[in-house]
Amino acid sequence: MKGLTKTVIRVKGMHCASCVAGIEELLKKTPGVKDASVNFGTEQAFIEHDPEAVPVNALHQAIRSAGFRTEEEAPDFSSHHHHAEKDITVLRLQFLVAALLSVPLMYVAMADMFDLPLPAIIRNNSPLVQFLLATPVVLVCGYQFFVRGFLALARTRLATMDTLVALGVSAAYLYSLIISIDIWGSGNVYTGVHLYYETAAFLITFILLGKYLEAGARGKTSEAIKKLIALAPDTTLVLRDGREHSLPVEQVIIGDIIVVKPGQRIAVDGIVIEGYSGVDESMITGESIPVEKAPGKQVIAGTLNKTGSFKFEALKVGKDTMLAQIIRLVQAAQGSKAPIQNLADTISAYFVPAVLVIALCAFLIWQLLGMEFFKTLEIFISVLIIACPCALGLATPTAVMVGTGIGAQNGILIKKAASLELAHKIDTIVLDKTGTLTRGEPKVTDVIGYGKTRQEILAFAASVEKSSEHPLADALVKSAEEETVALKPVEDFLSLPGKGVMGKVEAEMVFLGNRKLIESKNIELPVRIKEDAERLESEGKTVMFVARHNKMIGLVAVGDTLKNFSLEAVAALKRSGRQVIMITGDNKRTAQAIAKLISLDQVIAEVLPQEKAEKIKELQSRGRKVAMVGDGINDAPALTQADIGIALGSGTDIAIEAGDIVLVKDDLRDVVMALDLSRYTMKKIRQNLFWALIYNLIGIPIAAGVLSAYNLHINPVVAAIAMAFSSVSVVGNALLMRRYRRPAV
């Protein structure tokens, strides 16, 4: 299948995991569709298809043919939120109308049983009055259950919760209608024969109430995204033609100069060019302390300016801002499926057919045992109604939505639900050194010349490194600038990844790099130079060997410092029982000196970029579940190879793209929180699945009458109430996750 594309469609009207299975099955059978996945929690269908064989409008039509509604195109979240509010309003109206008709219906139906006062004209025409009150509830307020329940069955041959509701309500309503017609046709006076109009009406009423409460609760599970979207201001002050103009954010272009005053939110990403202030970045990074902003500092869209005023140049606008990227990542995570969801999907595939069989068997068995027909009918309806595949379908996605939202609010972006599920199983953490454990801003600490002065060694080294993008290059160039050392022109520059650099200076080749580079060029290392290098390396410094024309002329040592909280984060990871390993291209002495400072379990040193992924693979081959934490381009293969790739947000776009989890704050303590949040979320998912299963395992047999000998049974109205609130309880349990607090480190 060529030219595949991915389409996201909003699906409305799904009530359970069986609805999900039906839509997925329907889409997968559509010619031109390679794969389809539907998320019940976010009401999204993710479809991989050939647009020429099956255009998007055909996908919409396929879903609608099963009785579900779709949105014409995948809108942004704000649009979806508007539609969600509209759906809640409709459900509330349907429930209120159903309740207003069902309450007097119940009074009329129970008047004879409890000897309630009732006008004679209503008492004598009770079947007609009950019919007139029940019919709008069943056919108008509850029409969607019949349309979806029977259409889905016809189109996908899969019964859903709507099918169970439609069958249960139909049984009560049609039975009552047949009895009523018999009374009207025979001309007999109504003598209090049992009718089930009120049962049919209250089934619809309580199910609508449950759906209304569930929709409201589910809306709260995505509050993290709502809060993020609310951060973006609608307008901003832009300097054009020497004047300040208040413009819609959509009209801001790259290069515009933005003016930010105290109390205003920053509209786009950029770099400060004038002024000074403190900016609250807590909603992006989770860090509550305002960050100082001065010329040269970056600012992020959605953050709040606190005190001073400043101007900045717009560098990223619209969908390219960090805020927009965060929202997209969180939406993608919430829309994806966690592997544990497969359990609920598998159960749901057999759940509804099994309930239909149980209901029918219970009806026939009690009939054969001589129970009165109207009581066996109640049992049949109760079994159909009390069964709740909705709770199973909501157990996982609601917890995932809240969990990923909590992460986003704390600067931890979890890109896939599968990553959220797997993270707590990680038993080995592999940490890159430079830029991850250390600041990645090394400084030149020692320059040793052999037949050359300090300035000469620094001049050769900085000149060759000036064309390099390695972090150590900046340190050398800055050191040369600080000491006013003039740089020399370089020809034939060549970067040797994992080894160093080389280039022609003053007509002779200069080599600058690690021991591997010197050995590969067959340059002799005298004992004195080796001893000096070992001494510097034992101090935790990175040593660069400088050679000219195949002869060693000097050493340059560069020191790096640990990042804030690296020590605390490693200690917390070790306390959790996980193995912590550092991986680096540095030599063993330097790596071990750093490892000693933070009490690491193991060090893998002198590793070339392409070898990092191989080292991860070796650990996995021993049965370890590995998380790789890194920030550089050379970390990307290892991030991809690891079971979980954790990228620091301060790193490169490639590392962020490769990572499964992105730490916006560049704080290693967030690794601890990410793993703990995974554990907590999985705990809630298991609780939800347990209660959803227990509810059905206990409720269905009782509804089927297995405890009738103990006078314990469930009538259809009670079954409807129980079914409605089982889903609400699952969503409510997920919402309790908002009380989560980051672990102490």
The two three-digit tokens of residue 496, written as one number: 């040797």
CB of 266 within 8 A of CB of 305? yes
Lowest mean pLDDT among 145-154, 264-273, 451-460: 145-154
The closest alpha carbon to 137, from 161, 102, 109, belongs to 102
Pairing relation of β-strands 44-49 and 5-12?
antiparallel
Average pLDDT over every residue of 267-288: 85
Which pLDDT tens digit goes with each residue over 690-704?
988 898 889 999 999
pLDDT at residue 27 in the model: 93
The pLDDT-based confidence of 654 (bands split at 50, 70, 90) is low
The two three-digit tokens of residue 313, written as one number: 């140049």
Average pLDDT over every residue of 1-14: 83
Which pLDDT tens digit goes with each residue over 617-632?
999 999 999 999 987 6
Of the chain, the end-to-end C-alpha distance in Å amounts to: 51
The pLDDT-based confidence of 466 (bands split at 50, 70, 90) is confident
How many Cβ atoms from other residues are within 10 Å of residue 710's Cβ? 7
Could you tell me what percent of the chain has a pLDDT over 90? 44
pLDDT at residue 265 in the model: 94
Lowest mean pLDDT among 73-77, 564-568, 682-686: 73-77
> Is the pLDDT confidence value at 517 over 50?
yes
Lowest mean pLDDT among 50-54, 73-77, 412-416, 433-437: 73-77
> Is the pLDDT confidence value at 185 over 80?
no
DSSP 417-480: HHHHHHGGG--EEEEEIIIIIB-S--EEEEEEESSS-HHHHHHHHHHHHTT--SHHHHHHHHHH
| CATH code linked to domain 5-74 | 3.30.70.100
User: Which range among 34-48, 96-110, 386-400, 578-592 has the greatest average pLDDT?
Assistant: 96-110
Higher model confidence: residue 77 or residue 159?
159
Query: Structural domain boundaries of the chain?
Result: 5-74, 87-219, 233-318, 337-411+670-745, 425-432+562-664, 443-559
Tell me the one-letter amino acid at 432. Answer: D
pLDDT at residue 403 in the model: 92
> Is the pLDDT confidence value at 235 over 90?
yes
> Is the pLDDT confidence value at 86 over 70?
yes
* Phi, psi dihedral angles at 266 (to 5 degrees): -80, 130
Helix H segments across 115-222? 120-124, 126-135, 143-156, 161-186, 197-221
CATH fold for the domain made of 443-559: Calcium-transporting ATPase, cytoplasmic domain N (3.40.1110)
pLDDT, the chain, mean:
87
> Is the pLDDT confidence value at 653 over 70?
no
Average pLDDT over every residue of 365-372: 93
Q: What is the dihedral of CA 267, 270, 275, 276, to 10 degrees?
A: 80
The closest alpha carbon to 415, from 327, 481, 527, 487, belongs to 327
pLDDT at residue 74 in the model: 46
Which pLDDT tens digit goes with each residue over 18-28?
788 888 888 99
Could you tell me what percent of the chain has a pLDDT over 70? 94
CATH fold for the domain made of 425-432+562-664: Rossmann fold (3.40.50)
Tell me the one-letter amino acid at 418. Answer: A
Pairing relation of β-strands 443-449 and 310-316?
unpaired
Active site residues: 432
* Top-tier CATH class for 233-318: mainly beta
Which pLDDT tens digit goes with each residue over 28-44?
999 999 999 888 877 88
Which pLDDT tens digit goes with each residue over 307-363?
899 999 999 998 888 888 888 777 777 777 788 888 877 787 788 889 999 999 999
pLDDT at residue 75 in the model: 47
Lowest mean pLDDT among 42-56, 217-231, 486-500, 615-629: 217-231
> Is the pLDDT confidence value at 558 over 70?
yes
